[in-house]
Structure 1
């Protein structure tokens, strides 16, 4: 008997319809977590899931669970999922692809009249990106107990709106307790957020582990003064110190070749007005490397750079860690399942590390978890130019479908 495959046209149409919610002039998508746009995306997803025969529930952090029953009601379900939120200048595929590939699994099982032994639960996790509310992977981390619910609900966006308020505003706050569910396994598919699969020509990337990543806020303090009368040698300009530190952060990552990553993507300035020398800058930054020891060495260089900037520019610089992940090692049995399924479908593959966190990362300690990538045709994500082809999207959904069938019996 041949292995079932995804309905490519239906999956693509679904991706494009979802991508139109929050669609941008540049062909991308702006659908921030718990925004009005993501609220509409949630409603559409729940409608589609119910049409596919699922029972939909929502927990108190807004995670959506679409359950397809099995013959053994007491068996722990097989879970699949990802997220619907995007970054401000995102694309149509990051996150949403994993959710909608999971929806295609549910639809194909319904098409084929397949009944599984285990139930299957498709999950749309809340606030994976962390673009509006920090920290990232919030919904999955609250679910696993890594983050307290009350703490998550109290987090605020730059406008002072809390997660709890935003959930209420779009009607996304469920009444189901967070957690308390058992899963036999969790599977997530995602677009690769870099160029490696595209460069190598492989159709599937089997994620075996992750980089080590450490995230910081550098607080650079100087002295406010009038930009006109203040002599250059008298200045303690926090922005100049931040500029010097940004260049050092860039150098640290580049010095490690293709394995190194360093970033300084977010900056806050006070008082941030014309005519006044900046007195304080808060710079979010991170370092990443597949070798945990090398990542720590990069952190040490970052701390040395902070000390040098402080001395050179007459400033104070404090570096505080606020998040980290990795290195993780994915479950061997789940990696083997993805490889075997990929091979059986006749697709090419390679093992790959994830450089970014995904909802699968907090799930690794909760149940046997597998993560795999499809290529990014443009070799990029978190960009309006993010793109994977209909065939690439269908290939990943077909792997997901057949892996789920094996897991669910």
Structure 2
């Protein structure tokens, strides 16, 4: 029988972990560097140490737990994901990738399997980007996409900086957060879309991730009384914003088969029932597996913002805050995951991810791929997020066999 992870141990840890920051609707509330996120980190470190792993924390608060290899000088196989959540988010997002990686180590320990290469488990900081923008900040600094000072100065809506909060919770480590030699990286994650759920398959072999762009925008008009002010004298920032929202739908309907666009956050000021909105701050998000399509959508929406400002005679602001190009993952790592799925005896499909992941940035510095398990009805980033536990375990088994293939081999330092 093929080597498998422990269903009971994995499930017990998953249940215990998700008591931290639990909501009353079976979700979790563990945004980056919150007190609940701190407790989750402490629990994870305790479990790492119980598994006899060497734990380190880098300058970004990324947690690493290393299992030595027979030839410990070889570059490690890195596996993991993240443990921060959306506000009132789901229990599976990120968590199954970290706990699944730990379960891989526990399985190797329990079966007395010594790998040639070392294996490291990682929990990346601030993957979600819900409290501190941009997202994937910990892996971004690690891969050299962002510098450390930029990351430390990111602010939440209360003006607290990432660096200050990292220090407050006690996870501003001493290890440098910078690119280093890795043999490869695998990440287990829920799909966060409907393809696997609709196909009835348990495993997706991820060939790449959509490219995307994030933007902050704002309109500033004039506040005035909602009653006496004639319509032709108004400079309504919310009307201009609504024009842009409609434009996003129009652009995505004509821009390409896989292009998606979202206005996900809106702050209206003064936000009073009888006052004309003076200022609106909002965000924009465009994604596609074709970088040219993302570029074109970005150019179009910038023009639409300018047109909306002129129509309503308001001031406009526009800033691109993040851009990640779509790139395919490493062919050999993709094929390794497919062989692992075959070893487990599960059917699979090749899939492209519409969501961003830490694997985006790891793909820039080492061979990378991902393993997806189904999100029931494609729902994620909400408390209703759900994945059948049998699928979670099957994904962890695929991760286990992919790691075994990569970590048991010796060879060059790549």
Interval of TM-score (by shorter of Structure 1 and Structure 2): over 0.9
Post-superposition shift, 1:207? 1.1
Q: Any stretches of 5+ residues in structure 1 without a counterpart? A: none
Post-superposition shift, 1:345? 1.5
Counterparts of 1:277 and 1:205 in 2: how far apart (Å)? 49
Native 8 Å contact 2:343 2:401 kept in 1 = no
Greater mean deviation of Cα atoms: 251-260 or 169-178: 251-260
Counterparts of 2:154 and 2:317 in 1: how far apart (Å)? 23
Q: Any stretches of 5+ residues in structure 2 without a counterpart? A: 409-414
CA distance change for structure 1 residues 241 and 146 in 2, over 3 Å: closer, same or farther? Answer: same
RMSD, matched Cα: 1.6
Counterparts of 1:90 and 1:180 in 2: how far apart (Å)? 30
For residue 207 of structure 2, give the secondary structure of its aligned residue in structure 1: strand
Counterparts of 1:343 and 1:205 in 2: how far apart (Å)? 12
Post-superposition shift, 1:295? 2.6
Counterparts of 2:15 and 2:254 in 1: how far apart (Å)? 40
Partner of residue 349, structure 1: 348
CA distance change for structure 1 residues 399 and 278 in 2, over 3 Å: closer, same or farther? Answer: same
Is residue 33 of structure 1 aligned with residue 32 of structure 2?
Answer: yes
Counterparts of 1:255 and 1:380 in 2: how far apart (Å)? 25
Counterparts of 1:256 and 1:90 in 2: how far apart (Å)? 30
Partner of residue 77, structure 2: 78
Partner of residue 152, structure 1: 151
CA distance change for structure 1 residues 168 and 300 in 2, over 3 Å: closer, same or farther? Answer: closer
Partner of residue 42, structure 1: 41
Post-superposition shift, 1:3? 2.5
Partner of residue 100, structure 1: 99
For residue 376 of structure 2, give the secondary structure of its aligned residue in structure 1: coil
CA distance change for structure 1 residues 29 and 258 in 2, over 3 Å: closer, same or farther? Answer: farther
Partner of residue 131, structure 1: 130
Partner of residue 12, structure 1: 11
Native 8 Å contact 1:3 1:402 kept in 2 = no
Partner of residue 382, structure 1: 381
Partner of residue 301, structure 2: 302
Native 8 Å contact 2:208 2:369 kept in 1 = no
Q: Once superposed, which parts of structure 1, at least 4 consecutive aligned residues long, lie more than 6 Å away?
A: none
Post-superposition shift, 1:257? 7.6
Greater mean deviation of Cα atoms: 177-186 or 365-374: 177-186
For residues 288-335 of structure 1, give each alpha carbon's deviation from its aligned partner in whole angstroms, at most 9, with x where no partner exists. Answer: 222333333323432342233223322233432211112111000100
Partner of residue 113, structure 1: 112
For residues 75-121 of structure 1, give each alpha carbon's deviation from its aligned partner in whole angstroms, at most 9, with x where no partner exists. Answer: 11110010000000211000111000001001101110111111110
Number of positions where the alignment pairs a residue of Structure 1 with one of Structure 2? 408
CA distance change for structure 1 residues 284 and 180 in 2, over 3 Å: closer, same or farther? Answer: closer
Post-superposition shift, 1:203? 1.5
Partner of residue 369, structure 2: 370
Counterparts of 2:319 and 2:172 in 1: how far apart (Å)? 32
Partner of residue 220, structure 2: 221
Post-superposition shift, 1:229? 2.6
Counterparts of 2:295 and 2:250 in 1: how far apart (Å)? 16
Counterparts of 1:215 and 1:145 in 2: how far apart (Å)? 19
Native 8 Å contact 1:53 1:110 kept in 2 = no
